[in-house]
Amino acid sequence: MNTTRLLVCASLCAILGISNLPQAQAQFTYTFFPDDGTLASTVNTDFAIVGFAGGSYDDSFNRNFLFPSSPTLHVVNGADIGGEMDIFNSSHVIFSGGNIGFINVFDNSSVSASGGSSPFLLAFDSSTVNMSDGIIDDLEGQGSSVTVSGGHITSKLVANSAADSVTGNPIGSCIIDVTGGSIEGELDAYNNGLLNLHGGQLGGDLFAAFGGTIDVYGSGLTASLVNPDYNNAYSLYSLSGTLEDGTVLSNKNLFIMNDGVTYGHSSFNLISAASTPEPNSLILLLSGGLGAGLLLHRRRHVLAKAEKDRP
């Protein structure tokens, strides 16, 4: 079984509560990065662990790691991680090159991405991500802060909220600021997540759902209601105008989930870039929640792509 299939199988078993399959009893392999340094070579283990010097995950991916540290690791051209990199303990990883597998950022750690590529980056726990260049297919945050000023996101950008693993209650929302770069796919604000759009080339549709908010900053911004009950779930708006960086939006699809009984109130704001507006000067168009929350586990992106309801 290759690394990708092993991680997917273990993830599915953990999510579905299956314990009697031999694939769930995975014996993972690790490479540890406890000290400051530079990575410019191939890592063939299942996990590259930044911020610990030993230990392991159990079959449910609970941490059993040893000897915590907070290094600064530079990932440069020549680096190739086929598995997953997990970053802990206020560590700092600087990506300027290389190819990295799934990236998870925990514990107030930070990532600065100015090059290289990764299929998936998920930031938790008040961590921070600053992307100025490079390629990330799917960039998502839960309870974290993400800034995109450059680079290329080929699939989607998601501002979500972190939740308590026992109660499921939100414990922190993600704030994403987009000032530049190129995002081919959709841009999403879920579960009290906040997506601030100041610029960038936006190729996909915009979604605010389950209590998420999208703030759009620019001039001449308008949002015309096209369908108040699209797909029996969303209010569909047509968004036009100019973002702060000069990017022109023309009839961009903006989906706002309609209010339901048990879910958060979704919304968007159009904010003039000419001056800092008073609260009553915002163009506020609101709609609200319908459907179950979309809390993502750090490996549940395996299921999320199949589960997510789309118009």
Distance CA 235, CA 206 (A): 12
Strand partners, 94: 74, 112
**For residue 45, what are its two tokens?**
């283990």
Phi, psi of 107 (to 5 degrees): 55, 50
Joined together, the tokens standing for residue 249 give 């939006």
**Local confidence pLDDT in tens for the 311 residues of the chain:** 233 334 433 443 343 343 333 344 458 999 999 999 999 999 999 999 999 999 999 988 899 999 999 999 999 999 999 999 999 999 999 999 999 999 999 999 999 999 999 999 999 989 999 999 999 999 999 989 999 999 999 999 999 987 655 555 666 789 999 999 999 999 999 988 999 999 999 999 999 999 899 999 999 999 999 999 999 899 999 999 999 999 999 999 999 999 875 667 899 999 997 644 433 334 333 333 322 223 333 333 333 333 344 55
Q: What pLDDT, on a 0 to 100 scale, did the predictor assign at position 167?
A: 56
Task: Give the residue extent of every domain in the chain.
Answer: 108-307
Phi, psi dihedrals of residue 77, rounded to the nearest 5°: -55, 135
> What is the structure's pLDDT at 201?
96
CA nearest neighbour of 100 among 70, 114, 121: 121
Closest CA to 125 of 90, 159, 75, 157: 90
Q: What are residue 182's phi and psi, to 5 degrees?
A: -130, 125
Q: What is the four-CA torsion angle of 224, 227, 231, 235, rounded to 10 degrees? A: 50
- Rounded distance, CA 26 to CA 161, Å? 29
DSSP 8-state symbol, 79: -
- Cα torsion for 236, 176, 14, 30, to the nearest 10°? 150
Q: What are the beta bridge partners of residue 263?
A: none
Query: What DSSP designation does 292 have?
Result: -
pLDDT attached to residue 143? 87
- Model-level pTM greater than 0.85? no
Residue corresponding to tokens 């950008």: 157
Residue 145: C-alpha distances to residues 42, 110, 139, 155 (Å):
29, 9, 12, 19
